[in-house]
Amino acid sequence: MKTIILVILGFPLFTYAQTGPGGVGTNDGTSSLKMWYRPEFGVSATGTNIDSWLNGAGIVAHNLTASGTNRPTLLSGTKNGYNEISFDGNDILQITGALTTTNFITNQASSFLVTQRNSTTSSWVYATSPHQTNRFSCHVSWSNSSVYFDLGSCCSTSSRLQVNGLANLNDYSYWSYDALNATGKQLYRNSVLLQNRANTTLYNSHGSHTFRIGENFNGNITEIIIYKEKINSAQRIIIENYLSAKYDITSSANDLYDEDNAGNGNYDFDVAGIGRINGTNIHNDAQGTGFVRVLNPAGLNDDEFLIWGHNNGLQQAIEVTDIPATIQARFDRVWRVSEVNTSQVPVDVGAIDIQFDLTGLGAVTTSDLRLLIDTDNDGVFNDETPIAGATNLGSNVYQFAGITALANNLRFTLGTINTAQTPLPIKLVNFMATEVNNRYVKLNWQTASEVNNDYFTIERSQNGNSWKKVIDIDGMGNSSSLLSYSTIDDNSDIGVSYYRLKQTDFDGQFEYSKIISVNLGTLENSELEIYPNPTNSQITITGNIFELGKIEIYNVLGQNVTSFTTQINYNESKLIMDLSNLNKGIYYIKTKSTANKLYKQ
């Protein structure tokens, strides 16, 4: 692997592979990417009210938590199929503690924001706190048709970026902001430069400032990206194309990636890219949020870009019809590239290396892998010549080096010549959780193929972090047919619960599914009656079967003393318990959704 280090002042140093937005920066906290908030990374919620929002840049200290009782809400699949976080003007999420000089550099940053407003009231989308003359990164304010961003003096109209007379602020836009003392401050909306101003103020209060999102802000947010240093112009253009494609927002300039258009097949998932504006504004290695990485372009010249995305097909080799004669199966997922300059004229960045991270795809024999490229751009692969020569780089990464056949608008995918020893399965087709009559959760999943599959484990969490096993379900060992599984969780708590599926092989290796959530709403008529209260010995509890199905008794120290009691009689609406063995005092009777105080005499 070739390592390239940029030492030009003002350009960030990144480690490889670049798994940040659009393939710029990493998601492990080691690069200039320090904050990356999007709902896919995980939110913890009570109902739809958000308690926390995880930082996808890999810095736990920058996870956001709710402040007080005012909490934003989660909107599911409302922006081009992606979730949104909605603020009503009173909601705040913030990090715990202060920013540090380790994570941020004085008077330097790049940030991106995808948002729309629901009110013309002046507000901050995000800013540092306490609100002082100097503040961190982008201070954003809506006021009728005005917006301003800032790094440094928030109250100096001669220093901050402020643009008036903007239209359609209630529509979604993506905003890009750069700050570097030597080159000033720039603000872009949908890739168009709105303002360029000299940077006349400094900011170095990281150690005393916290960071928050939402303060009088009334609107929705889908993504926030913040780098501690100013990224270069090629990287900014790549990230803007990633955001434009993902959220279906029209770019008003530098719209290089057009494979996301409906006419081209909507290849708008996991968009990433490489490119070059000039010798000091270059990005030649990217992976992004997907598992395809492109690097080492042999002929990347000024004003040239290669950007790719996929059609969200299944990550498994289940396509057995549209394949060349020597291929037994190929991925259902297909990628497509735009290889153009900023005038959208096709270019050639030269030979490239393409890597596939096949972690979790079962056994792989390297010589079985084939790269398929639709060289005649007719939409099919069965008339193409497969490309062999993959090499195993370790850690489940496989590379095709020196690829020259890929060009503007062409599709590519991965195939196998031997499905017995290189099946390339992502066994899990879907995983769903459904509440049933507000009483229990039904879990369903399907597998398209199974290799060495011992069993599945359903795990549940109330916060998305701490997990408990619900049940183990035997797998089928080996299968090439579509199989369906289901089970019931009748111990899920009221409100939002998170589930994940763990699949374990016979040799002990395992992998997890994505995390899903389900909201078990509050039951009607769920109130309990407990009598007599106070009591000397027995109590009678009446209520619905869902509440009576889980009864626990705690003392004032929080100790579970249920084992010292006896159930005398139980039916769907009434439970009689003997508390004779409990000492005198105050106890709490906890059910699925209620807690009631009881006095033992």
CA distance 489 to 543: 21
> What confidence score (pLDDT) does residue 330 get?
94
| All residues at 6 or more sequence positions from 90 whose CB lies less than 8 Å from its CB, including other chains | 70, 216
CA distance 209 to 198: 24
Q: Which two tokens stand for residue 250?
A: 């029209």
CA distance 422 to 189: 46
> What confidence score (pLDDT) does residue 546 get?
64
Nearest to 274 by CA among 251, 250, 301: 301
Nearest to 382 by CA among 320, 324, 321: 324
> What confidence score (pLDDT) does residue 145 get?
79
Nearest to 469 by CA among 477, 461, 481: 461
Dihedral angle of Cα 29, 32, 35, 40, to the nearest 10 degrees: -70
Domains, the chain: 33-230 (2.60.120.200), 273-416 (2.60.220), 428-520 (2.60.40.10), 529-600 (2.60.40)
Nearest to 312 by CA among 294, 293, 332, 330: 332
CB-based contact 152:143 (threshold 8 Å): no
* Chain-centroid distance, C-alpha 83: 10
Alpha helices (H) in 155-261, listed in sequence order: 233-247
> What confidence score (pLDDT) does residue 527 get?
63
CA distance 555 to 589: 9
Which amino acid belongs to residue 473?
Answer: I
> What confidence score (pLDDT) does residue 13 get?
35
Q: How far apart are the first and last CA of the chain?
A: 75
Q: Which two tokens stand for residue 272?
A: 């990433």
Neighbours of 197 (CB within 10 A): 15
Model-level pTM?
0.73
CA distance 427 to 430: 9
Q: Is 239 helix (H, G, I), strand (E, B) or coil?
A: helix
Phi and psi, residue 241, nearest 5°? -70, -35
Phi and psi, residue 21, nearest 5°? -60, 125
Residue 507, strand partner residues: none
Phi and psi, residue 548, nearest 5°? -75, -10
Count each helix (H run) and each strand (E run) in the chain, helices first. 2, 46
> What confidence score (pLDDT) does residue 14 get?
39
Which residue bears the tokens 């890739």? 191
Looking from the CA of 359 toward its CB, the CA atoms found within 13 Å total 12
Which amino acid belongs to residue 367?
Answer: S
What are the average pLDDT values for consecutive 10-residue runs of the chain, which has 601 residues?
29 58 94 93 81 91 87 90 91 89 83 90 80 60 74 69 86 92 90 87 79 88 94 98 97 94 93 97 96 97 98 85 95 96 97 93 92 97 98 96 98 94 75 80 82 87 83 83 82 81 83 82 60 84 72 81 83 80 85 77 77
Phi and psi, residue 244, nearest 5°? -60, -45
CA distance 551 to 579: 13
> What confidence score (pLDDT) does residue 141 get?
62
Return the DSSP state at 418: -
Neighbours of 381 (CB within 10 A): 23
> What confidence score (pLDDT) does residue 409 get?
97
